[in-house]
Each structure stands twice: as C-alpha cells, then as structure tokens.
Amino acid sequence: PKQKTLAVIKPDAMEEHRDTILEEIRGRGFSVTQLKEAVLSREMAEEFYKEHKEKPFFKQLVEFMCRGPCMMLVLTKENAVEEWRAIMGPTDPDQAKMTSPDSLRARFASDMLHNSVHGSSNELHAEEKIRFIFGDICSDAELTAD
C-alpha cells in the first residue's frame, strides 16, 4: 500500500540544493502529491516542532526555520516514511558522512541544526504534519482525486 510522508527542504538548502533534492526525490520514484513553498511564521515553526519544545536547541531551530523560504512536499510511495528518512540520512551530518555518504545530509548539511531536510518520523506524525501544513481541504481534495 502507498504511504505518505512530509518532506521539507529547509532554508539552508533552498538556494543551492533545492533542484538537486527535487531531482533526487523524483529519481527515487516518489510521487510529489502536494507541494508548497513558504516562509514559516514563528508561530507555525513552533507548532510544527512542538515535540522539541523542551530541547535546548528549540529557539535556534525555530529561528532557523523562519529565516527564509522552505519547500514542503507530500511524498507518496510504498514505504515512503522509512525510505525518505534513509535518503535524508542521520540528523548529524558527521555521522551521515560515515554511515551513509550518499545521503542528502551527508552531502548538504552543515551541522546538526542546519541539516537541509526534514522528514516525518512515522506514519502518525506524517498525517498530523501534512494536515497542519496543507490543511484538511487539500487532503480531502487529494483523496477524492485518487
């Protein structure tokens, strides 16, 4: 069965690496079923990352995510959540370079915070974040179109 995940190209990767990342997404057989480019407001970034509210890097994370446009995509494919996470590689680019040198973070991330891409960690999160970013109307319209 097809699965959906939310992918985000973060502000640090938008200028130089966006097209390469989009090519990689399509080359790996994902369908991009929804897509939106936007500058997140502080409130949206805080809500998007609410699970990390207590982390010491939360404030920096929110500031970073608001500093320029992000591209948000719904990727549809079998096993999309896990596959997109594998393509991104680990959060820490130093670790990524050692364990998965072909991954996006190994190639494009500069540090743990500025790590170029985001992907939902599980199917439930994917559903919640897709609804948050694209809204119920979009999701329903897409379901009907399928």
The answer to whether residue 26 forms part of the interface with ligand CMP (CB under 6 A) is no
**Residues 6 or more apart in contact with residue 1 via CB below 8 angstroms:** 78
- The footprint of ligand CMP on residues 38-67 (CB under 6 A) is 52, 57, 61
Interface with ligand CMP (CB under 6 A), residue from 7, 118, 130, 133 = 118
- CB 66 to ligand CMP: min, Å: 13
Q: Is 118 a catalytic residue?
A: yes
By C-beta, is 50 or 131 nearer to ligand CMP?
Answer: 50
**DSSP track, 53-101:** TTSTTHHHHHHHHHSS-EEEEEEEEETHHHHHHHHH--SSHHHHHHH-T
Q: How far apart are CA 131 and CA 84, in angstroms?
A: 19
Give residues in contact with ligand CMP (CB under 6 A): 52, 57, 61, 91, 112-113, 115, 118
Give the residue ranges of the annotated binding site: 10, 57, 85, 91, 105, 115
Instruction: Give catalytic residues, as residue numbers.
Output: 118
